[in-house]
Structure 1
Amino acid sequence: MQLLKSITRKATASMKKKTLVNIFLRFFVLTMLLMVSSATIAVYSNYRMINDAKESNRNYLRAVSSTLDGLFNKLKDKGYSVASDSDFLNLVAMTDKSQKNYSSSSYELSNKLSDLYISDDVVDDAFIYFQNIHTILAGSGSYNPTFYFNLHYRYKDYPQAFWNNALASGSDSAIFSATDVMTQSGDSGEKRYKSIVPLLLNIESLAHARNYMIINIDEQKIYQLIDEMNITKKGEIYLVDTHHNRFISTTDRKMLGERFDAKTLRLNVTEGKTESTAKIGSERYMLSFQHSTWNNLGFLIVTPEHMLTGPTNNFLYWTIGVIVLFMLIGTFFSAIFTRGIYSPLADIVIQMKRFALSPFEHGGSEYEYIKENMTSLQQFHQESMPSLLQILLYRALNQQIDHADIDRLQQKYDFFRGGDRLAVVVVRVSFSARSERSPADLKRLLAGFNKPVLDISEHESVLFFQEHHAEDVHASVRRLGDLSAAFIEGEKDSVHLAVGMSPIFHQLEQTSQAYKEACAVLDWRSVNKAGILFTDADESRGSRASAYIAADKKEMLYKYMDHGNVEGSAHLLEQLLEEAHAQDMPFKSFKQLASDLLYLAVEIVYVRGIDGQSLFGMPADEVIPYIGTFQDPRIMESLCRDIYRALSVHIQNQLQSSKAIHGMLDYIAQHLPEANLTTIADRFNMNANYVSQYFKKQLGVTFTDYINGLRIDKAKELLIGSALTVNDVGKQVGFNNANAFIRMFKKLEAVTPNEYRKGSQAQHQQGPAERG
Structure 2
Amino acid sequence: MMLSNLKLRATANSLFIRLFASFLIVVVILVSFNYFSLTFSKNKVRDEIINYNTMNLKSTTDNYEKEFELIKNQLLNLYFNENEQLMYFNGDTINYEIAAKTMQDIRQITNNPLLYLDNLILYYRKPNLVLDKNSITSDSTFFNKFYSSKDYPLAFWQAQFQNSTHFRVYAPSNFYDIPFTNDYNSLGQAFPVIVKNNWYQDFYMAAFLDIRKMFQAFHLSINDNFFILDADGKQLFTSSTDEKLGAPPTYDKEKMYIKKDNYYYFYREGAISGLIYVNVVPDAFIASQVKLNVSLVSLLIVTLGIGIVASLLFSFGFHQPIRRMIASFKHYNPLSPVQSRINEFNQLGSQINRIHADLSRKNLQLQSFAYMSSVKKIRNNLEMDFIDRPYVIVIFELTYKKRGQEHLAIEQNGTYYMKEFIDFQFKSQYSESLTFQIEASRIMSFAFIEETDYPALKDLLVQMQGIFDLDKEELYVTMAISSFYSSAAQMTEAYDEALQLSKQRRLNDKTQIIDKHLAQDLVTMFLPQQQEQEFAVNLQAGNATETRQIVNRFLAQLHKRTVSSLQFYHFANEIIHKTLKTLTTLQVDFRHLGDLASLQEQIFGCHTYEQLVSYLNEFLISSIELVNRKKEERDPITTFAIEYLEKNYSGDITLELIADKLNISSGYLSTYFKDKTGVNFLDFLNDLRIRKAREMLLEPGSRIQDVARKAGYQNMNSFNRMFKKFSGITPSEFRKQTVS
TM-score scaled by structure 1?
A: 0.41
Task: Kindly name which structure, 1 or 2, has the bigger radius of gyration based on alpha carbons.
Answer: 1
TM-score scaled by structure 2?
A: 0.42
